[in-house]
Amino acid sequence: MARTIITGGTVVTAADQMSADVLIEDEKIVALAAPGSHEWSADQTIDATGKYVIPGGIDVHTHMELPFGGTFASDTFETGTRAAAWGGTTTIVDFAVQTKGQGLMEGFEAWQEKASGQCAIDYGFHLIVGDVNEQTLKEMETAFAEGVTSFKMFMAYPGVFYSDDGQIFRAMQKAAENGSTIMMHAENGIAIDVLVEQALQRGETDPIHHGIVRKSILEGEATHRAIKLAELAESPLYIVHLSALEALEEVTIARDQGLNVFAETCPQYLLLGLDDLGNQFEGAKYVCSPPLRDWDAGHQEELWRGLRGNDLQVISTDHCPFCMDEFDGLIAQKRLGEGDFSKIPNGMPGVEPRMELIHQAGVVEGKISLSRWVELCSTAPAKMFGLYPDKGTIAVGSDADVVIFDPNASKVISVDNQHMRVDYSAYEDWEVTGIVDTVLSRGRVVVDGDEYRGEAGHGRYLKRGLNQYVM
């Protein structure tokens, strides 16, 4: 049996902050004790004096190798989970995809194949439902038995991932039978496509127009519609990557009514804005959907308020990187949309800097508390997607997914020091105080300062339970 002691640190969970030593045996946390109160012996001792000891980050929204717009997201499960580990994230939940004409479980198996033997950290899957029919609805039960308890649908991307209201409603009714959660990309894609066509006809082809045509009111409208359909079907609903104050307003109302409605936002919607899409084609780096929002309209400020008041429960990344130029054997993916913003692959890199960015912008800059940071980035995602308390906390019996975080050290974020497989950082030259120091995944040190000690294949597939917030 391998025993590890983490000594001298401040254990921070969603609920508590305490001086405590942590004893790990093999893959589990087996004891916490006041420093000096025990006589534990161990094979290795990690000194966390002056540092936080937090549960590993959980990113419940990633897209490794996602096929999109004629190319694939540039991180593989191997490179993407390694980058996640570097950033203090020890679990991802990625999206397996059912494409049109394919069975739901075919998508699940294809993604299992991609991830198997590749991941540095533990991983689970949601399923993107791309083709609702009788077989799909039956297969939602099969998927559930395999530990997929959440299904994502799209009100955006007509002709690709889009489902109409009837398809959405049927899937929600099915989800209600066993308590699965429906995750919704809530943008009115039919109306957006009209605006896209009109913009292109006017010769508006630069990336900034991606941000202009995808109106926030259309995110609000779709969010409202999704909530009403879920209310009627009595299924839990989770709005992914919420970016607009109009959408937050709908979620807030629904939650005040006691509905099982939840939502996440992402660092890019809190920290970046429509302006970033300017500067001609450089803005392509910031093309994602929903788009980055206008600072003047106050979206970002409202999202922070939502995070503080629990109208938003989770911060994930929607990590979906595409290269600007040729890089590491990849084509210049974003340049597929030169001359037509609607052809720019949608997505941004983000799985690596999330913990540090939110610590800086949230905790250091006084917008959320230290415990709320842990809750938003680890504990709540674990509870929302049926992984708690194995994941998401520092407690006796939990998996030893632990990050030692140095709140006093700082660094400058840059493409030159990141590990994601992409040729830019959306946060180039941003300075953060508070950085990831040491990372353990199920008791194994995977990141030790500047040294990577992880291994492809260490990460295990996680069968997930139900959303633990549902009443």
Q: Where does this chain bind Zn ion (CB under 5 A)? A: 318
Structure tokens at 164: 């109409």
Question: Comparing C-alpha atoms, which of 57, 136, 78, 126 is closest to residue 104?
Answer: 136
Nearer to Zn ion, 318 or 352 (CB): 318
Minimum CB distance to Zn ion, residue 282 (Å): 23
Nearer to Zn ion, 319 or 458 (CB): 319
Nearer to Zn ion, 51 or 185 (CB): 185
Task: Please answer whether residues 75 and 423 qualify as being in contact, where contact means their C-beta atoms are separated by less than 8 angstroms.
Answer: no
Nearer to Zn ion, 158 or 278 (CB): 158
For residues 465 and 148, give the distance between their C-alpha atoms in angstroms, rounded to a whole number: 8
Nearer to Zn ion, 319 or 383 (CB): 319
Structure tokens at 12: 């921070």
Task: Please answer whether residues 26 and 2 qualify as being in contact, where contact means their C-beta atoms are separated by less than 8 angstroms.
Answer: yes
Minimum CB distance to Zn ion, residue 152 (Å): 8
Phi-psi region of 373 (alpha: psi -120 to 50; beta: other; left: phi over 0): alpha
Minimum CB distance to Zn ion, residue 154 (Å): 9
Task: Please answer whether residues 140 and 175 qualify as being in contact, where contact means their C-beta atoms are separated by less than 8 angstroms.
Answer: yes
Question: Comparing C-alpha atoms, which of 469, 361, 359 is closest to residue 403?
Answer: 359
Minimum CB distance to Zn ion, residue 240 (Å): 6
Residues ≥6 apart with Cβ < 8 Å to 310: none
Output the residue with the shortest Cβ distance to Zn ion.
Answer: 318
Minimum CB distance to Zn ion, residue 395 (Å): 30
Helices (H), 130-164: 134-145
Nearer to Zn ion, 54 or 348 (CB): 348
By the 10 Å C-beta count (0-12 exposed, 13-18 middle, 19+ buried), 313 is classed as: buried
For residues 259 and 471, give the distance between their C-alpha atoms in angstroms, rounded to a whole number: 8
Minimum CB distance to Zn ion, residue 318 (Å): 4
Question: Comparing C-alpha atoms, which of 147, 208, 215 is closest to residue 387?
Answer: 147
Nearer to Zn ion, 246 or 318 (CB): 318
Instruction: Provide the 3-class DSSP secondary structure of residue 429.
Output: coil
Minimum CB distance to Zn ion, residue 145 (Å): 25
Minimum CB distance to Zn ion, residue 150 (Å): 13
Nearer to Zn ion, 153 or 230 (CB): 153
